[in-house]
């Protein structure tokens, strides 16, 4: 029997892999989309929301068809200290109107829906397949293996590694080193079921409207933060912390999550929520400098596997999708040329370099290091802001002039003005690109 060979084998049916499988299948390539979960999404977890772009490029009417929970109209920020919070929100009602802007959705539902689209387009979706190794022919990657023996081999002209943050395939292909604790964060999350009416009145939302909350100052100075997203009739509450800092802190991630849930300003928001699921996942945090080499002979890396995430605006799924588009385009070109070497696949990198993803990550390239090396950002400043606010708003007969002196003294004690100045310059740098 002749050895079967696919045009492309995509490993991982998350947003990146499915996007590339979908586009390649539509272009007539033979595609195997392999997923190690019981169904696409069974192994996946994230904070809670996807942006409309660039998904709308691939599925223009996805807002009607995708299993969407709520449309985000309100982005809230909470800078918390022990028993107070300096909170602000950006609410835009046009976000509640088509074409909308961002959506909450649950990955077990979304990824399954999305992968079914790739299947309808002609990709062969095989679930419960755990790829263990790449198959090489000399220096060229020619397939994947999911166990021992020839019965567990699958051949393809191109392998697309969409196997997530902790990508084993990118490492095997020699494109990256194993992730280091300073390059990756751990996210933990709980789903709390809550009546949709309660969610809408508690968060001041209309029907189908949702809120995304980011909380700073809840990680004991570790780089990271808490989040709450509203789903249809549940809340996603969790937090993300850099592994390097978690190792040093010796705090257990689930204890930190419980502490966040018990915070006096958070507890009322989640009260009555019935826990339904507890999940954990890695998040690449290294930004532009953490992006590995993106291709080699017969293989391309996409999505989280290529560390394409930006934590400041919670971007991940959109970047994964965009990278999936370009990898598919490169694969289609390679098929046309009949050349699957890195020579042709470099087209993927070229497309990505002139894309939103790469340009944005390049602009923000210094952020991860600034965040990582600045513990002040995640505990001292949140405390200070809350202290300043408390002093300014509490009425005890003390003149504001006296209070100002106290504030200045406190800043000097906790940070020092030279450091504060430096941090301000850095902050200016972040927002003035």
Partner 1 sequence: MSKAGLKIIVCIKQVPAVQDIKIDPITHTLIRESMPSMLNPWDEIGVEEGIRLREKYGGEVTVITMGPMQAKEAILRCLAMGADRGIIISDKALAGSDTIATAYALYMQIKKMEYDLIICGKISTDSETGHIGPHLAELLNIPQICYVKKVDLDIEKRRIIAHKEADGGIEIVEAPLPALMTTTIGLNEPRLPTLKGIISSKRKEVKVVTAKDLGGSLSNYGLRGSPTFVDEVFEPPSRKPEMIFQGDPKEAVEKIVQVLLNKKLISSRS
Partner 2 sequence: MITMSIDEKLSLNTYKVYKENHIIVDKEKCITCIDKPCIYCCPTNTYSWENDDLIISFEGCVECGTCEIVCPYKKIRLTYPPLGHGIIYRYG
- What is the contact surface with partner 1 in residues (CB under 8 A)? 4, 32, 38, 124-126, 128-129, 145-147, 149, 151-154
What are the respective helix, strand and coil percentages of the chain, to the nearest 5? 40, 25, 30
Whose Cβ is closer to partner 1: residue 129's or residue 175's?
A: 129
Cα(264)–Cα(83) distance, integer angstroms: 6
Which three-class secondary structure state does DSSP give residue 256? helix
Q: Which of 111, 209, 297, 360 binds partner 2 (CB under 8 A)?
A: 111
Q: What is the Cα 49 distance to its own chain's centre?
A: 9
Helix (H) or strand (E) holding 76: strand 68-80
Cα(194)–Cα(228) distance, rounded to whole angstroms? 13
261 binds partner 2 (CB under 8 A): yes
270 binding partner 2? (CB under 8 A): yes
Closest CA to 16 of 307, 312, 428: 307
Distance CA 327, CA 340 (A): 12
Residues 285-300: b if buried by 16+ CB within 10 A, e if exposed: bbbbebbbebbbbbbb
- 186 in Cβ contact with 240 (< 8 Å): yes
Residue 258 interacts with partner 2 (CB under 8 A): yes or no: yes
Q: How far is the CB of 33 from partner 2 (least distance, A)?
A: 15
Q: Pick one of partner 2, partner 1, none as the site partner of residue 361 (Cβ within 5 to 8 A by kind).
A: none
Near partner 2 by CB under 8 A: residue from 279, 341, 346, 355 = 279
By CB under 8 A, residue 250 contacts partner 2: yes
User: Residues 43-72 vs partner 2: string with x where CB under 8 A?
Assistant: xxxx--------------------------
Q: In this structure, which long-range contacts are made by residues 345-349, counting pairs with CB atoms below 8 Å and at least 24 apart in sequence? A: 345/158, 345/295, 345/296, 345/297, 345/298, 345/299, 345/300, 346/295, 348/294, 348/295, 348/300, 349/294, 349/295
Do the beta carbons of residue 59 and residue 113 sit within 8 Å? no
Minimum distance from residue 36 beta carbon to partner 2 (Å): 5
Q: Is the dihedral of CA 203, 208, 209, 211 positive or negative?
A: positive
Shortest reach from residue 1's CB to partner 1, in Å: 11
How many angstroms from the chain centroid is the CA of residue 405? 42
Stretch that binds partner 2, among 60-68, 86-94, 107-115, 392-400 (CB under 8 A): 107-115
Report what 149 binds from partner 1, partner 2, none; CB cut-off 5-8 Å by kind.
partner 1
* Partner that binds at residue 10, options partner 2, partner 1, none, CB closer than 5 to 8 Å by kind: none
Q: Is 179 in the site for partner 2 (CB under 8 A)?
A: yes
Residue 234, interface with partner 2 (CB under 8 A)?
A: yes
Residue 280's binding partner among partner 2, partner 1, none (Cβ under 5 to 8 angstroms by kind) is partner 2
Residues at the interface with partner 2 (CB under 8 A)? 36-39, 41-46, 106-109, 111, 127-128, 130, 132, 147, 165-166, 178-181, 184, 186, 188, 190-191, 234, 236, 243, 246-247, 250-254, 258, 261-262, 267, 270-271, 275-282
């Amino acid at each position: 029997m002749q050895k079967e060979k696919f045009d492309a084998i995509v490993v991982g049916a998350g947003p990146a892999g499915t996007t590339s499988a979908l586009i390649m299948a539509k272009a007539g390539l033979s595609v195997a989309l392999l997923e190690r979960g019981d169904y696409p999404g069974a192994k996946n977890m994230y904070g809670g929301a996807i942006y409309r772009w660039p998904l709308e490029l691939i599925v223009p009417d996805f807002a009607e068809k995708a299993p969407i929970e709520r449309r985000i109209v309100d982005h809230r920020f909470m800078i918390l200290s022990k028993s107070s919070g300096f909170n602000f929100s950006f609410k835009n009602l046009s976000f509640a109107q088509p074409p909308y802007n961002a959506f909450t959705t649950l990955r077990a539902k979304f990824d399954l829906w999305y992968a079914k689209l790739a299947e309808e387009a002609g990709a062969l979706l095989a679930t419960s397949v755990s790829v263990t190794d790449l198959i090489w022919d000399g220096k060229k990657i020619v397939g994947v293996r999911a166990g021992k023996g020839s019965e567990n081999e699958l051949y393809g002209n191109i392998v697309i590694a969409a196997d997530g943050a902790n990508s084993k395939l990118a490492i095997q292909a020699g494109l990256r080193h194993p992730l280091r604790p300073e390059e990756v964060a751990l996210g933990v999350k709980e789903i709390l079921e809550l009546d949709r009416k309660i969610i809408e009145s508690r968060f001041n939302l209309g029907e189908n409207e949702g809120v995304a909350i980011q909380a700073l100052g809840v990680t004991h100075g570790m780089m990271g933060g808490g989040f709450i997203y509203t789903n249809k009739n549940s809340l996603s509450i969790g937090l993300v912390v850099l592994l390097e800092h978690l190792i040093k802190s010796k705090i257990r991630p689930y204890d930190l999550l419980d502490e966040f849930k018990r915070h006096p300003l958070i507890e009322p928001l989640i009260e009555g929520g019935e826990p339904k699921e507890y999940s954990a996942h890695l998040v690449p945090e290294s930004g532009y400098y953490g992006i590995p080499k993106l291709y080699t002979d017969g293989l391309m890396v996409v999505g989280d596997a290529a560390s394409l995430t930006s934590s400041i605006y919670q971007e991940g799924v959109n970047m994964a999708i965009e990278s999936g588009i370009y990898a598919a385009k490169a694969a289609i070109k390679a098929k046309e040329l009949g050349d699957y070497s890195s020579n042709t696949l470099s087209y993927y990198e070229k497309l990505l370099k002139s894309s939103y993803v790469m340009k944005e990550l390049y602009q923000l390239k210094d952020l991860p290091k600034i965040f990582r090396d600045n513990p002040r950002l995640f505990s001292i400043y949140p405390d200070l802001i809350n202290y300043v606010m408390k002093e300014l708003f509490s009425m005890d007969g003390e003149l504001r002039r006296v209070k100002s002196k106290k504030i200045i003294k406190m800043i000097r004690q906790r940070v020092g003005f030279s450091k504060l100045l430096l941090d301000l310059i850095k902050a200016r740098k972040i927002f003035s690109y």
